[in-house]
Amino acid sequence: MSDHTRPRKGAPMVVGILSIGALSRATGIPIETLRTWEHRYGFPVPERKPSGHRVYPISSIPRLRRIAEALGRGHRAGEVVAASEAALAELLEATSRPGAVPPPSGEASADTTTLLRFVRAFDGDRLTRLLLADWSSLGTLDFVRGRVAPLVRAVGDAWEAGQLEVRHEHFLSERVGDVLRALRLRLEERASGPLVVLATLPGESHGLGLQMAALVVAAAGCRSLFLGTLTPVPELAALARDLDARVVAISVSSATRGAASTGMLARLRDLLPQRTTLLIGGDGAPRPRDGWVVIQELERLDQWGRHLVATGSPPPAEPARRRA
């Protein structure tokens, strides 16, 4: 234990507490969102360390995950964050089945152009309801590759063309992230396959690609531990060792490709146990090499995950096919 974490002499040892960053990684909820909820709705409730730093009880995690699931099913933060446990359970029960959240009247699904229009208008309710309707009708893999991925690319292209602003990208990330998180949490309850830890490395703040991969992996039956973005390499390697993770999956966007990310991946590979597979995806993923596997197609990731669940081991390594 380092000096700055050692309790003062005579002070009781505080256990079961997390920094807001650790709480964010454990729940998949952004730090800024947690702070907003704390200020606006009074949850999560912080405690104070002797040093004055704010920390949060680990017991907050299950409720926060239920809140995230409710948001992903189309409920508003004002309805669920401050709700009683009974009311929250009732909301989740009411939308517990695929298709339980109905699409808007007269619309069973929407193409990318329609979804993009809702992003432009900041129409979060309609965007969420249509995404959930598409998931219900398409299934997880086709939903992610046929609806979510094209929408994310379309928003990025529109931003580069000056047709959308940063606030539109932030809105998309929060809304789509809520949906992906809620669907993944539902699947994780039934998953029993090998453990896959998913994260991005320092410098990589783009998390939607990681969210999409995590949902596909969970749908394949893997147990998944989603750590989110900006995870330090030594901490990620230590966690993989402590939990005996079968796979560590890293997302690299085009914004962070290059020598720096490749160097961190090489360091991570050196720190991971030999039996732990290092899996890399994303538009900025480096070329495959001995020691790690590169997968960029969601369909191939689904097949890879199902093989892992069926056999307990990853498929034999093969060269990655670059996405056109």
* CATH architecture classification, 12-96: Orthogonal Bundle (1.10)
**Average pLDDT of the chain to the nearest whole number:** 84
For domain 97-189, the CATH superfamily is Methionine synthase domain (1.10.1240.10)
**Token reading at 294:** 């590169």
192-311 CATH pick, 3.20.20.70, 1.10.3720.10, 3.40.50.280, 3.30.300.20: 3.40.50.280
Q: What is the mean pLDDT of residues 93-102?
A: 54
Three-class SS string for 265-294?
A: HHHHHHHCCCCCEEEEECCCCCCCECCEEE
Compute the distance between CA of residue 187 and CA of residue 315 in angstroms, rounded to an integer: 23
Asked whether residue 78 carries a pLDDT value surpassing 90, the answer given is no
pLDDT category of residue 99 using cuts at 50, 70 and 90: very low
| C-beta of residue 44 within 8 angstroms of C-beta of residue 34 | yes
Compute the distance between CA of residue 261 and CA of residue 252 in angstroms, rounded to an integer: 8
| pTM > 0.85 | no
Three-class SS string for 161-194?
A: CCCCCHHHHHHHHHHHHHHHHHHHHHHHCCCCCC
pLDDT value of position 166 = 92
pLDDT per residue as tens digits for the range 280-301: 999 899 988 889 999 999 999 9
Highest mean pLDDT among 137-141, 176-180, 247-251: 247-251
Type of residue at 21: G
pLDDT per residue as tens digits for the range 28-66: 787 878 888 888 888 999 988 888 788 999 989 889 988
